[in-house]
Amino acid sequence: MAELDGEIAVVTGAGRGIGEAVSKRLGRMGARVLLVARNASRLDEVRRQIEDEGGRAETHALDLLQPAAIEAFAESLRDRHGRCGILVNNAGVGSFGTPLHETPLEDWETIIGTNLRAPYLMIRSIAPLMIAAGRGHIINISSLAGHNPLKNGAAYSASKWGLNGLTYSVAEELREHGIRVSTVAPGSVNTDFGRGGKDASWKIQPEDVANIVAMLVTQSPQSFVSEVLVRPARKP
C-alpha cells in the first residue's frame, strides 16, 4: 500500500509498544516516519525494521520533558522537510499502585509533563506547518483511564482526562484549517507499560491501535472521526 506516499509523519514514543507499531504501519503505508523517543538505540532498531520493509524513517532522540528539545526538533523538521501531515502524540508514562496523597511530586510532574504538556508542546510547534498546508492529522493516544476513575492511578488518569479535553478543544480550533484532531483511547494493551501479567492474550495488541491510526489518517475528506474507544474483546 502507498496511501501515504510522500507524507511526513511524526510519532512520539516510537521506540516500543504502540508507538513502534504505529510507526511501522505508517512506514508500510508510504510515509516518511520521524521516530521520536529518548532511547536512541531502540529508535535505530525500529528505523532498521521500517527500512527493511522498504519504508523510510528518521530517528530523533529527545526528552519530551524539555521544551527546548521539542522546539529544536520542530526547527529541524521545518528546515529539513518544511511540512508535516501527521502527528501522533503517543509517548506516555504512568505510576500505579499508590494513592494520590502518597504520590511524590516528581512522579506527578513527570506524568503530567509527558502525557499532557508534551502533546501541547508538539502541537504548538507543528500545527503551524499544517495550517500553512491547509491539512493534517493530529492523533493523541489517550486511555480509557481518561474516561473512568482509576484507583491508585489518579495522576495517570488526570493526565488522560486532560489530554481528552485538550484534543476535543484543539479539534474545534483547527478543523477550520482542514486539520483533524482525534483521540484513540484503548484499554489494556499488551505492552511493557503499566501493570503486567503472564497471560496477555486477552489484551489489545499494539497493532490493533496501529490499525485504528491507519484508518484515521486515511479518512475521506468529508468525514471526521473525533474519538475511538477500544476495549479488549474479552476480560481476563
C-alpha cell at 35: 521516530
Helices first, then strands: H and E counts in the chain? 7, 7
Residue 13's DSSP bridge partners are: none
Among residues 74, 156, 162, 179, the one annotated as catalytic is 156
CA dihedral 119, 185, 192, 69 (to 10 degrees): -10
| Cβ–Cβ under 8 Å, residues 136 and 178 | yes
Contact criterion met (CB below 8 Å) for 47 and 59: yes
d(CA 167, CA 182): 7
Pairing of strands 32-37, 179-186: unpaired
State the DSSP code for 21: H
Residue 168 catalytic?
Answer: no
Q: Which residues are catalytic?
A: 156
